[in-house]
Amino acid sequence: MTIPRASHIESSARLLVAAQLSDLLQRGSRAHLIGIGGVSMSPLAEELHRHGLRVTGSDLRNSPAVEKLRSLGIDIYIGHDAENVHGADLVIRTAAAREGNPEIDETLRLGIPLFERAAAWGVIMRGYANAVCVSGSHGKTTTTSMISQILLAAGRDPTVMIGGTLPTLGSGYRVGSGDTIVLESCEYFDSFLSFFPTLAVILNVDADHLDYFGDIDHVKAAFREFAELAPETGRVIACGDDRNTIDALRGLDRDITTFGFHAQCDVRCESVLETGHCSEFDVVYEDRVYCRVKLKVPGKHNILNALAACAAAISLGVPSETIEDALRTFVGADRRFEFKGRLNGAVIYDDYAHHPTELRALLDMATALPYKRVVVAFQPHTYSRTASHLEAFAKELRRADKCYIAEIYAAREINTYGITSADLAALVPDSTVCATLSDVEAALKAEARDGDLIITVGAGELDKVGEQIVN
């Protein structure tokens, strides 16, 4: 089942929504946020609170993010109830809150203005001189984290919104007082088309979220529209190595800086040295070595992420030595090849890879490391993605020495595809289907031996297994 996507979001409609929201986001207005504890909703709540709005919210459960917001004086309800929206001047919803939610339905019944989370972020970023929006099918969290760490080291005091936890921040966001905002920008449901980037970063374009886009051509069209959001005085930073990205941007009337391994890229790497979990390379810009980067996060995909971050930093005028210092201390974002611990001589890592391209990059890196075996525990994410890429997932998983496959993590979906993890396991020799996460945990405990690299992989709940094993 494919969610029909509008072929185009009219810029006039986008500007009208932004104007309406700007009028409502005034000091003293009450903004109610549905799903306030979410990864991009909690920083939004803090930002609105900082600007003098009376913020309330609701969420299904307590969390550290909810408690932090409460410490600021924000009233938060646990559970969704129609009465929670009474008295609100506007309501902002997370993407997961749709019609059928009692607060959404009551908002519509009362005629309270209702806005998407992305639209609110779009209005907020218009107040910044520099709005760095990092998009791409893969690598957004890591690259957004790298850019944020560089700008923090440069003393730019940025406002940051990341789809994961950056150890330097101890969270996925910060509200700064500088003139720059950095946001991870997701293409799903065309969310990023509500933004107003001055610097639009496109890492890659791949066939993902096909339950919404339908096919790769519609994915390309969305990223093309995103690039067109950059003003004539702005800039697009794009991967020159990625054919889909180049196709999407062909003929674009904007200043474009390309990055990549190829010699024709504006920002490229040379003299690459990879040793174990580390890599080192020259960043070449305007045909001279701009800086020498040393990374503690492995893999060619992370070299590309770092090149994108360097291109953004160069565009923002960050000195070369600051880029070097910031990336030298970068240790990754959570769930991006994150070290969990050891068991029976095996090392345990966790990774968020949930698309075949991400899985390929992960295994390219993992199989090049000096371990005796690579053992993968994989949890497919959503029925639609598993059905669309079944053979591609199997092709990558066959590269592991041993594979355990958990049941599919449904997320937002109902299984109308008739797909199960057994269908995937049937294509992967020497793989085992585990009905529960406890079964995965028991299997990995029995499997672990000296010299193994064990990776729990997926965007669902499999990271909990790694934590249980090492604890």
Q: In what order do the strands lie in the sheet with 452-457?
A: 338-343, 346-351, 452-457, 373-378, 402-406, 431-434
pLDDT band at 432 (very low <50, low <70, confident <90, very high): very high
Q: 394: domain CATH number?
A: 3.90.190.20
Query: Please, which residues bridge with residue 130 across strands?
Result: 180
391 with 459, same domain? yes
Are residues 107 and 136 both part of a single domain? no
| Domain presence at residue 121 | no
**How far apart are alpha carbons 311 and 285 in whole angstroms?**
9
Note whether 146 and 166 are same-domain residues: yes
State the amino acid at position 415 in one-letter form.
N
Say if residue 412 is in the same domain as residue 464: yes
Q: pLDDT tens for residues 285-342?
A: 999 999 999 999 999 999 999 999 999 999 999 999 999 999 999 998 888 899 999 9
Same-domain status, 281 and 396: no
Whether 160 and 285 map to the same domain: the answer is: yes
H/E run at residue 166: strand 159-166
Write the pLDDT tens digit of every residue in 159-189. 999 987 788 787 788 888 999 999 999 998 8
Instruction: Indicate which CATH number applies to the domain containing 298.
Output: 3.40.1190.10
CA distance 417 to 120: 34
* Number of domains comprising the chain: 3
Annotation marks residue 372 as catalytic:
no
Q: Are residues 134 and 207 in the same domain?
A: yes
- Establish if 122 belongs to a structural domain: no
Report the alpha-carbon angle 197-132-355, nearest 5. 100
Residue 302 and residue 310 in contact, taking contact as beta carbons nearer than 8 Å: no
Q: Which helix (H) or strand (E) holds 200?
A: strand 199-202
Domain that holds residue 91: 11-116
pLDDT for 3: 45
Q: Are residues 179 and 311 in the same domain?
A: yes
* Residue 4, pLDDT above cutoff 60: no
Pairing of strands 267-275, 288-295: unpaired
Confidence at 96, pLDDT banded by 50, 70, 90: confident
184 is catalytic: yes
Mean pLDDT of the 45-59 span: 94
CB-based contacts of 265, cutoff 8 Å, min separation 6: 240, 241, 258, 259, 307
Question: What pLDDT is attached to residue 258?
Answer: 98
Considering only CA atoms, which of 387, 383, 385 is closest in space to residue 414?
Answer: 383
Q: Are residues 158 and 284 in the same domain?
A: yes
In a domain, 4, yes or no: no
Q: Are residues 273 and 347 in the same domain?
A: no
Choosing from 141, 198, 322, 357, the catalytic residue is: 141
* Model confidence band, residue 10 (pLDDT cutoffs 50, 70, 90): low
Residue 3, in any domain of the structure: no
DSSP 436: S
The reply to whether 374 falls in a domain is: yes
CATH of the domain at 18: 3.40.50.720
pLDDT of the residue at 2: 46
Residues 313 and 343 in one domain: no
Last residue of a domain, one of 67, 96, 116: 116
**353 and 260 in a common domain:** no
Q: Is the pLDDT of residue 144 over 70?
A: yes
Domain end position, chosen among 284, 300, 328: 328
Looking at 106, 116, 184, 324, which residue is catalytic? 184
1 assigned to some structural domain: no
Q: Is 141 among the catalytic positions?
A: yes
Mean pLDDT over 406-433 rounds to: 94
Catalytic residue among 140, 187, 322, 324: 140
Whether residue 333 lies inside any domain: the answer is no
What does the mean pLDDT of the chain come to? 93
116, 147, 162 — which closes off a domain? 116
pLDDT at 11: 65
Position 262 scores a pLDDT of 96
Asked, for residue 407, whether it belongs to a domain, the answer is yes
CA distance 402 to 371: 13
Residue 1 pLDDT exceeds 50: no
- Residue 279 parent element (H or E): strand 278-285
pTM strictly above 0.85: yes
